[in-house]
């Protein structure tokens, strides 16, 4: 069981206001359930729901939630990476925190048209644009990718784009290219995103064809591509209806 940072802060705050001052009171408060303190109630819930082992402390009263330890007769919540780091796993087993929904963009009509034309989810198109350019139609990457969906010159030319900074052309071509990758990998979105970012040839060298296989060899992809897949997935949540 993992205590998120918000809960940890709440526990810490309640602990400061609690009248628990020694181990005997702690035992009585948690195990006998006789305390009315918010800290005791919340902590008891976490302790009872955890099945971990405790070392160096009486097992009958030891806190079993990760990061919670005894010190000087009190309980302490250690706020390390496990509590504060973002818990996102692009394999699909992620723990997601609440995400604020984003409102309309300046390119909704163009995105809707491209979505209907190529059969790509609107939220996914917006997530790619958000991740690639933050909706800046004039951005140029260090590698030379241009526009909203960061088209390389060769890709843009192959898709018939004459002006990669034109939002209409860029969104249409970028969505078409993304649809090619989605179709190439039979709807496997992570595979399509990896191909969009790193190129389909790199995936071909890995010898993978499904998202599950991709996850098994994820460490063989560039760090940028691994982060890219996660960022797009996170961004997509903001634009889903």
The catalytic residue positions are: 132
Between CA 115 and CA 155, with CA 194 as vertex, the angle to 5 degrees is 65
218 backbone dihedrals φ, ψ, rounded to 5°: -60, -35
Q: What is the 3-state secondary structure (H, E, C) of 177-224?
A: HHHHHHHHCCCCHHHHHHHHHHCHHHHHHHCCCCHHHHHHCHHHCCHH
d(CA 54, CA 61): 9
Contact in structure between 18 and 40 (CB atoms under 8 Å): yes
């Amino acid at each position: 069981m993992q205590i998120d940072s918000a809960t940890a802060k709440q526990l810490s705050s309640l602990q400061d206001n609690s009248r628990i001052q020694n181990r005997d009171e702690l035992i009585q408060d948690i195990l006998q359930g006789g305390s009315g303190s918010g800290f005791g109630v919340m902590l008891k819930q976490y302790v009872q729901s955890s099945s971990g082992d405790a070392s160096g402390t009486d097992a009958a009263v030891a806190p079993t939630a990760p990061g919670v330890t005894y010190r000087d007769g009190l309980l302490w919540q250690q706020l390390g990476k496990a509590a504060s780091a973002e818990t996102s796993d692009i394999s699909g087993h992620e723990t997601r925190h609440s995400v604020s929904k984003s409102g309309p963009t300046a390119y909704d009509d163009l995105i809707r048209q491209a979505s209907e034309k190529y059969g790509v989810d609107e939220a996914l198109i917006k997530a790619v644009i958000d991740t690639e350019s933050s909706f800046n139609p004039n951005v140029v990457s260090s590698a030379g990718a241009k526009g909203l969906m960061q088209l390389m010159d060769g890709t843009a030319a192959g898709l018939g784009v004459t002006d990669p900074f034109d939002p209409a052309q860029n969104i249409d071509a970028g969505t078409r290219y993304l649809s090619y990758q989605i179709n190439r990998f039979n709807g496997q979105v992570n595979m399509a995103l990896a191909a969009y970012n790193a190129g389909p040839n790199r995936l071909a060298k890995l010898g993978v064809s499904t998202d599950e296989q991709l996850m098994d060899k994820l460490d063989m992809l560039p760090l940028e591509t691994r982060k890219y897949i996660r960022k797009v997935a996170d961004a997509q949540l903001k634009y889903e209806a």
